[in-house]
């Protein structure tokens, strides 16, 4: 950790139907993020492979957790001594659908895995036609320089229970790879929900989105009071915030909301 805080990055880019092109874009963004002092770098949902609209090529391009995509991430992470968090199109058990998975990869392998719980069957979309939902399980977390990180994906942001479950797992930072589809007021929803999840759980939060024309862009890093520390607009770029881990304790002394709550989260 530097004297200026822990370097956390969000990398905004538009994944394509070419896994090689996607990995090249990821490698370039990693170089930029590292040059700006990042130790953890968050990429969007579906970083390994993406088509719009979805079609049968999803299953053809899905990979195992230990497949070539995560192997490439591991090589990049080892070379630059960082943790890379990115969306992976993972093979599902039924052979018909895929899993919308996020992996956190370091030089020594996969640190954490998250499979999207709430599928995007909203705003005229039907993600569940192509994607199998993740199973409800205790969240996987990972640590870097004394900070604990947790994961969620895109539409999960609209369900505060997911963030609260991560708070119960004592995370300091929530990472949100996304493909936040454009539409009326959708930029407003994205910003508001990122800030709300940070405020109500008194954690740092980093969301990485696809840029327009499909995503809204506006990838950002938010502090435990909901203040945006660093952000990207609508371009392909990297934003880095040097976060102060002590800020969490300071905020929680003033606003001990997690201690004062009277409800717990239980699965349906």
Phi, psi of 109 (to 5 degrees): 125, -165
Active site residue 154: yes
Of residues 63, 90, 116, 127, which has the active-site annotation?
Answer: 116
Dmax over Cα atoms in the chain, in whole Å?
A: 51
Q: Packing angle between helix 68-80 and helix 19-35, nearest 10 degrees? A: 20
Residues 179 and 44: beta-carbon distance below 8 Å? yes
DSSP E strands, the chain: 6-12, 40-42, 83-91, 98-106, 109-115, 131-132, 142-144, 147-151, 173-177, 204-208, 220-222, 228-231, 237-243
2 secondary structure, DSSP code:
B
CB 113 within 8 A of CB 142: no
Identified catalytic residue from 63, 154, 187, 200: 154
- Cα dist from 61 to 8, 19, 92, 146, 215, whole Å: 30, 8, 12, 36, 21
Distance CA 51, CA 63 (A): 16
Q: Where are the alpha helices (DSSP H) in the chain?
A: 19-35, 57-61, 68-80, 160-168, 186-201, 246-254, 257-260
Active site residues: 45, 116, 154
């Amino acid at each position: 950790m530097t004297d200026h805080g822990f370097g956390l990055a969000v990398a905004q880019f538009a994944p394509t139907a070419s896994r090689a092109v996607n990995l090249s874009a990821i490698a370039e963004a990693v170089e930029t993020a590292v040059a700006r002092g990042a130790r953890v770098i968050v990429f969007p949902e579906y970083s390994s492979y993406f088509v719009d609209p979805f079609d049968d090529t999803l299953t053809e391009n899905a990979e195992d957790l230990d497949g070539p995509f995560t192997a490439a991430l591991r090589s990049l992470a080892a070379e630059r001594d960082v943790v890379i968090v990115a969306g992976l199109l993972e093979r599902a058990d039924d052979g018909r659908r895929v899993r919308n998975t996020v992996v956190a990869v370091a030089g020594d392998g996969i640190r954490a895995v998250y499979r999207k719980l709430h599928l995007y069957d909203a705003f005229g979309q039907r993600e569940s036609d192509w994607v199998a939902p993740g199973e409800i399980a205790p969240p996987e977390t990972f640590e870097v320089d004394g900070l604990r990180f947790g994961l969620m994906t895109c539409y999960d942001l609209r369900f505060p229970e997911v963030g609260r479950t991560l708070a119960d797992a004592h995370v300091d930072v929530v990472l949100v790879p996304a493909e936040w589809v454009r539409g009326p007021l959708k930029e407003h929803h994205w910003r508001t929900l990122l800030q709300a999840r940070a405020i109500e759980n008194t954690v740092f939060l980093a969301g990485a989105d696809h840029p327009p024309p499909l995503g809204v862009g506006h990838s950002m890093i938010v502090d435990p009071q909901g203040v945006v520390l660093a952000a990207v607009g609508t371009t392909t770029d990297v934003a880095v915030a040097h976060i102060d881990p002590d800020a969490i304790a300071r905020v929680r002394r003033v606003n001990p909301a997690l201690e004062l709550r009277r409800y717990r989260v239980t699965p349906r």
